[in-house]
């Protein structure tokens, strides 16, 4: 079929210079389209589409457009998803730049990660994207303010050309301030707050680091909103501990939160998908058969161990079926008379001091038998203040030692 000459020219122009066609047509880009077009500006790898990428883009876009219209937020957003699924490029690199380009150049962002280095790296890539020739070609009116241009804090500007050949009038826009979780935020406020991985696995193993992250999320970050009714908070992370920032926020009743939880596979972690209807998008029980196929997941389980894999991939910081002790192998003993040959016993307490909420105190007394099996005598778990916790420990120690020693 012959194509009319004028239409053939339009098609050829679109293929040879799509940026110009987008600019001249006045087309507005969705976040997902923006991601596709500017991917090569922030990554040397090929773009790998998957349903979860489109989903996350749509969720972030909806939040940003409400902020752009100064509408009260419907909810904050928690995204639990495995590493290596493009979450940082979407949420921390592309999203703020897209907001300035397509929603409002005046928007202010606070972004944070578990380390300042990681937070600044994302900020630098986002700033480099805005400085790129491709971005300038599509959004020539936007730029970075010369005297407000550091990785930790840079400002967007909008250029207004009133007369041909005359220097533009510069309108100061919003800024992006980046820091570490636990770092200072004094003097800074944001329309959108983005927390990308508030903890790493090593920090999650430290009670002190865990509490520092939770305290910063609960007591410092909420005070940095430009408008408490409008400002949206986005927390994106892999699950690392039952009492990590995701777990702590999800425990808070009455707080409007949308929870998107996407385990790497649903053979073992189907019950943790949120919302549950997203289960139908999994292929071969996999979130992303390209990035996280079964061979990759098997290697990750070997590297991370059962607990690490359950949290980072399964988004459940406790492995299905148990870790060291498989629940299928546990036998309930009705009487101590059936037990012979206790070798050594130990009691250990994992202490917390949170009255009525937050982290749990847990205490276990166990013995190893001479035949190599383990015996669990007693398990206690509760959310107690310091005085009550110590009283429980003393009472249980005296009682169980009297019965079992």
Domain identity same for 43 and 128: yes
Could you say which of 261, 285, 305 is where a domain stops?
A: 261
Q: What is the pLDDT of residue 405?
A: 45
In a domain, 16, yes or no: no
β-pairing, 109-113 with 192-196? parallel
The domain tally of the chain equals 2
Q: What is the pLDDT of residue 9?
A: 62
φ and ψ at 150, to 5 degrees? Answer: -125, 160
Nearest to 279 by CA among 293, 253, 305, 261: 261
Q: Are 251 and 217 in contact (CB under 8 A)?
A: no
Domain identity same for 343 and 219: no
Domain identity same for 107 and 237: yes
CATH of the domain at 172: 3.40.50.300
Strand order in the sheet with 142-150: 142-150, 153-160, 169-180, 109-113, 192-196, 232-237, 76-80, 257-261
Sign, CA dihedral 55-56-59-65, equals negative
Domain identity same for 223 and 114: yes
φ and ψ at 190, to 5 degrees? Answer: -135, 150
Q: Are 28 and 37 in contact (CB under 8 A)?
A: no
In a domain, 300, yes or no: no
CA distance 10 to 260: 42
Domain identity same for 254 and 339: no
Structural domain range at position 157 = 31-261
CA distance 138 to 136: 5
CA distance 274 to 52: 12
Q: What is the pLDDT of residue 94?
A: 98
Q: Tell me the HSE value of 326 on the side-chain side, using a 13 A CA sphere.
A: 2
**Helix, strand or coil, per DSSP, at residue 124:** helix
- Name the DSSP letter for residue 91: I
Is the bond leading into 275 cis (omega within 30 degrees of zero)? yes
Nearest to 225 by CA among 383, 93, 108: 108
Domain identity same for 39 and 140: yes
Residue identified by tokens 């937020």 is 73
Domain identity same for 243 and 335: no
Q: Tell me the HSE value of 405 on the side-chain side, using a 13 A CA sphere.
A: 9
Could you say which of 261, 277, 308 is where a domain stops?
A: 261
Q: What is the pLDDT of residue 363?
A: 83
* Burial of 191 per CB tally in 10 Å (0-12, 13-18, 19+): buried
Tens-binned pLDDT, residue by residue, of the chain (405 aa): 555 666 556 556 655 677 877 877 778 999 999 999 999 999 999 999 999 999 999 999 999 999 999 999 999 999 999 999 999 999 999 999 999 999 999 999 999 999 999 999 999 999 999 999 999 999 999 999 999 889 999 999 999 988 887 889 999 999 999 999 999 999 999 999 999 999 999 999 898 999 999 999 999 999 999 999 999 999 999 999 999 999 999 998 888 999 999 999 999 999 999 999 999 999 999 999 999 999 999 999 999 998 899 999 999 998 655 555 555 567 777 666 556 677 788 888 777 655 655 556 888 888 888 777 787 877 888 877 788 888 888 877 776 555 544
Q: What is the pLDDT of residues 305-364, one digit of tens each?
A: 988 999 999 999 986 555 555 555 677 776 665 566 777 888 887 776 556 555 568 888
In a domain, 25, yes or no: no
Residue identified by tokens 């500006």 is 41
In a domain, 1, yes or no: no
Domain identity same for 242 and 141: yes
Q: What is the pLDDT of residues 40-64, one digit of tens each?
A: 999 999 999 999 999 999 999 999 9
Residue identified by tokens 């996407």 is 262
- C-alpha Rg value of the chain to the nearest Å: 26
Strand order in the sheet with 374-382: 342-350, 361-369, 374-382
Q: What is the pLDDT of residue 264?
A: 98
What tokens were used for 52? Answer: 């979860």
Q: What is the pLDDT of residue 364?
A: 85
Domain identity same for 216 and 341: no
* Helical packing angle, 116-131 and 95-102, nearest 10°: 40
Could you say which of 203, 230, 261 is where a domain stops?
A: 261
């Amino acid at each position: 079929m012959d194509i009319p000459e004028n239409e053939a020219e339009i098609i050829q122009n679109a293929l040879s210079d799509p940026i110009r066609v987008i600019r001249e047509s006045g087309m507005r880009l969705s976040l997902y389209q923006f991601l596709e077009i500017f991917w090569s500006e922030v990554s040397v790898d090929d773009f790998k589409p998957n349903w979860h990428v489109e989903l996350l883009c749509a969720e972030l876009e909806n939040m940003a457009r409400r902020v752009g219209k100064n509408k009260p937020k419907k909810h904050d957003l928690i995204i639990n998803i495995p590493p290596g699924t493009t979450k940082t490029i979407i949420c921390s690199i592309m999203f703020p730049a897209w907001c300035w380009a397509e929603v409002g150049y005046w928007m202010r962002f606070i972004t944070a990660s578990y380390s300042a280095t990681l937070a600044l790296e994302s900020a630098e890539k986002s700033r480099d994207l805005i400085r790129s020739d491709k971005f300038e070609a599509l959004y020539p009116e936007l730029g970075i303010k010369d005297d407000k241009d550091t990785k930790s804090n840079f400002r967007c500007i909008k250029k207004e050309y009133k007369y041909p050949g005359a220097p533009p009038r510069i309108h100061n826009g919003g800024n992006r301030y980046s820091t570490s979780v636990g770092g200072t935020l004094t003097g800074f406020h944001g329309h959108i707050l983005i927390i990308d991985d508030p903890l790493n696995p090593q920090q999650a193993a430290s009670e002190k680091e865990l509490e520092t992250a939770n305290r910063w999320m609960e007591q410092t970050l909420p005070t940095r909103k430009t408008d408490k009714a409008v400002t949206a908070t986005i927390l994106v992370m892999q699950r690392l501990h039952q009492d990590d920032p995701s777990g702590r926020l999800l425990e808070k009743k009455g707080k409007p939160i949308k929870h998107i939880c996407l385990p790497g596979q649903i053979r073992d972690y189907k019950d943790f998908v949120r919302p549950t209807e997203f289960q139908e998008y999994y292929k071969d029980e996999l979130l992303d058969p390209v990035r996280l196929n079964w061979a990759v997941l098997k290697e990750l389980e070997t590297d991370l161990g059962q607990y690490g894999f359950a949290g980072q991939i399964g988004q459940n910081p406790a492995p299905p079926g148990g870790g060291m002790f498989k629940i299928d192998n546990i036998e309930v003993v009705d009487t101590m008379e059936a037990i012979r040959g206790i070798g050594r016993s130990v009691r250990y307490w994992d202490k917390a001091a949170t009255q009525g909420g937050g982290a749990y105190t847990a205490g276990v007394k166990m013995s190893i038998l001479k035949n190599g099996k383990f015996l669990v005598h007693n398990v206690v778990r509760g959310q107690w203040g310091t005085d009550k916790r110590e009283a429980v420990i003393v009472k249980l120690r005296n009682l169980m030692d009297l019965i079992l020693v």
